[in-house]
Amino acid sequence: MPGFIFKKGRIGLVSKSGTLTYEAVDQLTKAGLGQTTAIGIGGDPIIGTTTKEAVELLMNDPETEGIVMIGEIGGGMEAEAAHWIKANGNRKPVVGFIAGQTAPKGRRMGHAGVIIGGADDTAEAKMRILRECGVHVVESPP
């Protein structure tokens, strides 16, 4: 990612999408909010850090005042993170976005991590779960 888009700030970011990681970082910088940490975990089936682990780190970071969580269709990491937020108390505002809302059902998209395997893997289901757990869900990136 180009270093000039990053700016020290107060928002933590975790993203399952590489492209949306730097897009969100750029928008946070342009909005004057900056970032405490930006974690691009990717959407591949085998990863090193889960969305929940990243959200937990950001929630416990005293410099982070708010969290942006970007997910995508396929898998259950966003729901796991949302349930953790609800169970542990949403101590900071969390904004969530799920990419892939217009993806055709039943079709393989992008990479192996974007295979919709069940009813809770769809964008609609993930957005519903996030809302139920207290995450402010946006329909599209600004």
Instruction: Give the torsion sign (CA, 18, 110, 48, 16).
Output: positive
Closest of 1, 5, 56, 55 to residue 35, by C-alpha: 5
Question: CA 13, CA 104: separation in Å to the nearest integer?
Answer: 27
The whole-angstrom separation of Cα 115 and Cα 142 is 26
Write out the residue range of the structural domain in which residue 40 sits: 7-17+26-67+75-111
Residue 134 lies in a domain: no
Q: Based on the structure, what is the number of domains in the chain?
A: 1
In a domain, 45, yes or no: yes
Lowest mean pLDDT among 20-24, 34-38, 112-116: 112-116
Please indicate, yes or no, if residue 128 is contained in any of the structural domains. no
79 belongs to a structural domain: yes
| Mean pLDDT of the region 55-72 | 97
* Residues taking part in catalysis: 111
HSE (side-chain half, CA atoms, 13 Å) at 25 = 22
Helical segments of 5-133, H only: 18-30, 51-60, 77-88, 123-132
Q: pTM of this prediction?
A: 0.88
| Residues 66, 102: Cα–Cα separation, whole Å | 28
Q: Higher pLDDT residue, 17 or 8?
A: 8
Residue 52 within a domain: yes
Residue 128 CA to residue 38 CA, distance in Å, equals 25
Q: What per-residue confidence (pLDDT) applies to 112?
A: 46
CATH number at residue 54: 3.40.50.261
Laid out side by side, the sheet with 94-99 consists of: 35-40, 8-15, 66-72, 94-99, 136-137
Question: Would the pLDDT of 137 be above 70?
Answer: yes
The answer to the question of residue 129 being in a domain is: no
Residue 71 CB coordination number (10 Å): 29
- Residue 43's closest CA among 66, 14, 68? 14
Is the pLDDT assigned to residue 77 strictly greater than 50?
yes
